[in-house]
């Protein structure tokens, strides 16, 4: 009986090193003039991909309906925008199962209007991570042109 319990516990261990993340951002260049006076459709589209590169499947647990987070920091490292602050998430826990080699794709949008007055021209950093697994993150520098 002990052997079965140990085997079950080992099957549920999550090797975070076996996951790879990728981040794509559109548009690739941001213009401060456009952020200050945005059109309703002006936004940053963030595509966050998580791939299970292990040889076995695994289960990811989430305490709420939120699955990922995006944060923008200015050149000094100060947080100027947090994606989840614009949303409410159901308190329903959930799971995602990833087979070996499978990917999870998440797409977030950040309206330019949400950045108006918060982000200066220059360098910024966008970090996207999986909720409950902050080690599973991807970062991309942003250049905000005047």
The pTM (predicted TM-score) of the whole model is 0.86
pLDDT, tens only, 86-132: 899 999 999 999 999 999 999 999 999 999 999 999 999 999 999 99
Nearest Cα neighbor of 44 from 133, 110, 123 is 110
The CA distances from residue 67 to 21, 34, 126, in Å, are: 14, 30, 17
Which residue's entry shows tokens 């209007």? 113
Q: What is the CATH number of domain 16-145?
A: 2.60.40.2360
Q: Please provide the distance, in angstroms rounded to a whole number, between the alpha carbons at the two ends of the chain.
A: 67
The domain limits of the chain are 16-145
pLDDT, tens only, 87-97: 999 999 999 99
């Amino acid at each position: 009986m002990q052997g079965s319990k140990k085997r079950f516990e080992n099957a549920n261990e999550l090797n975070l090193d076996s996951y790879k993340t990728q981040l794509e951002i559109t548009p690739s260049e941001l213009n401060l003039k456009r952020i200050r006076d945005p059109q309703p459709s002006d936004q940053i589209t963030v595509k966050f991909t998580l791939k299970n590169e292990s040889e076995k499947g695994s289960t990811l647990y989430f305490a709420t309906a939120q699955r990922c987070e995006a944060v923008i920091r200015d050149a000094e490292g100060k947080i100027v925008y947090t994606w989840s602050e614009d949303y409410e998430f159901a308190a329903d826990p959930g799971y995602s199962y990833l087979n070996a080699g499978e990917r999870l794709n998440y797409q977030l949008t950040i309206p330019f209007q949400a950045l108006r007055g918060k982000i200066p021209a220059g360098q910024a950093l966008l970090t996207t991570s999986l909720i409950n697994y902050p080690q599973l993150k991807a970062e991309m520098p942003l250049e905000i042109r005047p």
